[in-house]
Structure 1
């Protein structure tokens, strides 16, 4: 891609559902916590919630009818996440687009993941591409509050219209709207967005052509 024609100075990625298909990994992760306390696996209708929420929010939601909410959250904080990383599936074309953008635009992640994001990036060798990674541990108010995006804008010294946030959920769309940052909906045509893309190749075209 020709950097002179880029439409944005910064590209900010959500993690789950954009960079990775994490559904199987997240289901195994939270079912492990439930099993540790002697409870059955989560219901299928819970799957979408855990994809968007923070780790703490997910645990408290799943244990809302159980007395061990605090104990489960403490267990989540200390348990070893690495046993679930192998279930993550990296989005095709992700590393190629990161490689092509590195040094030409600022790259960041804004995610409701907590400390697990560092382990994921290290495992897949992607940490070197990003100029900033903001997790739920790095802000007082996680998504859909715009604090994560606003923190990145300040760090990068870029205006709101100069950044593009790429996400896949309603929470991501709300976050972008609250921050007044253009939003690219990834594989989710139901979201209100400036752009809709279904692949990293389509995202690359948006970045180059602005449409």
Structure 2
């Protein structure tokens, strides 16, 4: 069945923000004297920042972690945030095809809107679903279902595109078409283990599905 609605994850999918995210985490871990270890925190990208803060800083320090992260992330946001090559062109193609588009991210609303506004992504999106919009987050289906509800879209003609296993799992539970990209957080082999409906090596692979 042809896809009429495409939902996108943000970090690691549309925007190349992973170096900034890692640099910010390393700074906060150092300031708070939290062992960096084997960079396990990077495997959790896609979860809400609060959940990550609680896991690594504990119930007594998570708010301090959160504030420090948001401060240091904002300092270098504009310098270190950019779109992946071909992203803008891909959005133009989908727009020309009459496709409806939205973003489903675990990022805070303030952070998501800053990135999408700075890069000009917001003008393509009918909805931007963020961490504040649902109580259960990816890998639960709730954020994807929220987007479907707001866009009045049908699951069977909707795809969710993301770079992490959390995205694939959320898409499957929401019963939309699950599409993984190989240029973000997880390698293609890791995503393939979760059996997405499609795996993109480049944005051009998406056009034949729309």
Interval containing the TM-score (normalised by the shorter chain): 0.7 to 0.9
1:22 corresponds to: 17
Summarize the alignment of residues 31-50 of structure 1 with structure 2, pairs less than 5 Å apart: 31-37=26-32, 39=33, 42-50=36-44
* Contact 2:50 2:62 survives alignment (8 Å): no
User: TM-score scaled by structure 2?
Assistant: 0.85
CA distance 1:47–1:69, change in 2 (3 Å):
closer
Displacement, 1:7?
Answer: 1.9
* Contact 2:90 2:203 survives alignment (8 Å): yes
Displacement, 1:12?
Answer: 0.3
1:72 corresponds to: 65
Unaligned runs of 5+ in 1: 1-5
* Contact 1:183 1:195 survives alignment (8 Å): yes
CA distance 1:70–1:40, change in 2 (3 Å):
closer
* Contact 2:54 2:61 survives alignment (8 Å): no
What SS class does the counterpart of residue 90 from structure 1 fall into? coil
What SS class does the counterpart of residue 159 from structure 2 fall into? strand
Q: C-alpha root-mean-square deviation of aligned residues, in Å?
A: 2.2
How many Å separate the matches in 1 of 2:207 and 2:137?
Answer: 27
1:200 corresponds to: 203
1:113 aligns with one of 99, 107, 115: 107
What SS class does the counterpart of residue 7 from structure 1 fall into? coil
What SS class does the counterpart of residue 52 from structure 1 fall into? coil
1:57 corresponds to: 51
How many Å separate the matches in 1 of 2:95 and 2:126?
Answer: 9
User: TM-score scaled by structure 1?
Assistant: 0.84
Which shows bigger deviation, 176-185 or 15-24?
A: 15-24
How many Å separate the matches in 2 of 1:31 and 1:138?
Answer: 28
* Contact 2:106 2:130 survives alignment (8 Å): yes
CA distance 1:110–1:91, change in 2 (3 Å):
same
Q: Does 1:81 align with 2:73?
A: yes
2:162 aligns with one of 160, 167, 172: 167
* Contact 2:15 2:84 survives alignment (8 Å): yes
Q: Does 1:97 align with 2:75?
A: no
* Contact 1:25 1:87 survives alignment (8 Å): yes
